[in-house]
Structure 1
Amino acid sequence: MANKENKRKIMIAMDGSEYSEGALKWFVQHLYKKDEDEVIVIHVTDHRQSGSYGSNWMPVDPTTVHLAYKEEEEKAKTIIKKIDAIMMDAGVQGNVVRAHGHPGEQIIQKSEELGVTMIIIACRGLGTIRRTIMGSVSDYVVHHSSIPVIVCRH
């Protein structure tokens, strides 16, 4: 058994999609060493959409924003339960970390705070136009990380 200092600290970013589940399964199949790895799964809830209802011309009822926020929180709880179940089924020992904000920024920030040695993230394979317009979390992480990033394609 490796001592704590020699363990790899691996962060797996999961958003609840089948692609992120695939990234976790790929990690378990190809890289996971139970006695040598400390696994941290991160799930980021992005509430920016909750506050974007309405406009200067048509303000939104604060109750609507509150309900959207609450709905996103319930969805995140469901996703985390699913992640826990997947980890248990795969025999992965680790922790799920929850963050709030821009997913790419939070993944980088938490990886630095926790001293992670590698990040594994899924790629949805967005086309050039969609990625340019919407941005891509995996693209952001690859370009802003100071540690190795493995991007799992579906």
Structure 2
Amino acid sequence: MATGNLASVVVAVDGSEESMSALRWALDNLRLRPDGELLVLHVQPPPNIAAGLNPAPIPFGGPSGVEVPAFTQAIEAHQRRITQAILDHALKICSDKNAEVKTEVVVGEPKEKICEVADNRKADLLVMGCRAIGPLKRMFLGSVSNYCINHVGCPVVVIKGT
């Protein structure tokens, strides 16, 4: 296998087929230096974001007896299972291509954390997928890839979904 001049590549995965396509693209098309590293990064949203809640107190109790800490713990446990499934899927793709990668999971707002990790690692390249959403949805929902293109300190390759 030919070697390249990339020392550090970060591939952001979120479990979507687009992000897994981006990982496959990186494995098929990029060549690292012999001492280079490909990092598969997953950003896990904080529990309040994952549950669609704001950090304000939630009035629980009553007949169900569910307390907020139990609710938060259940969400966190569910997120850990989802994160593990995403990493397992990504690592299977890497294994099928005989690629050695490192993985990292961080908690926070995905667009900000992806940029932070790429910058902290002094990545030569960030690779990510992008859902094919229309301009109206993108205007209201925002775009993680668009944010990263404009805020990260390295080149970004976006593998667009269909």
TM-score by length of 1: 0.85
Instruction: Kindly report structure 1 stretches of 4+ aligned residues shifted beyond 6 Å.
Output: 53-56
From 141, 150, 155, give the equivalent of 1:134.
141
Higher relative helix content: 1
The more displaced of 108-117 and 61-70 is 61-70
Are the aligned partners of 1:50 and 1:69 in contact in 2 as well (CA < 8 Å)?
no
SS at match of 2:87: helix
Alignment RMSD, CA only?
2.5
- Cα distance in 1 for partners of 2:8, 2:122 equals 7
Query: 1:98-135: per-residue Cα shift (whole Å, max 9, x none)?
Result: 11101111011111111211000101011112112221
* Identity between Structure 1 and Structure 2 (%): 25
What is the deviation of 1:37? 4.0
Q: Match for residue 17 of structure 2?
A: 18
What is the deviation of 1:28? 2.1
What is the deviation of 1:33? 4.6
Are the aligned partners of 2:129 and 2:160 in contact in 1 as well (CA < 8 Å)?
yes
- Cα distance in 2 for partners of 1:36, 1:125 equals 35
User: Judging changes above 3 Å, is the alpha-carbon distance between structure 1 residues 54 and 98 closer, same or farther for their aligned structure 2 residues?
Assistant: closer
Tell me, yes or no, if structure 1 residue 148 matches structure 2 residue 132.
Answer: no
From 94, 99, 110, give the equivalent of 1:103.
110
Q: How many equivalent residue pairs?
A: 151
Unpaired segments ≥5 residues, structure 2: 61-66
Aligned AA (2:25): W
Asked which structure has the greater CA Rg, the reply is 2
Unpaired segments ≥5 residues, structure 1: none
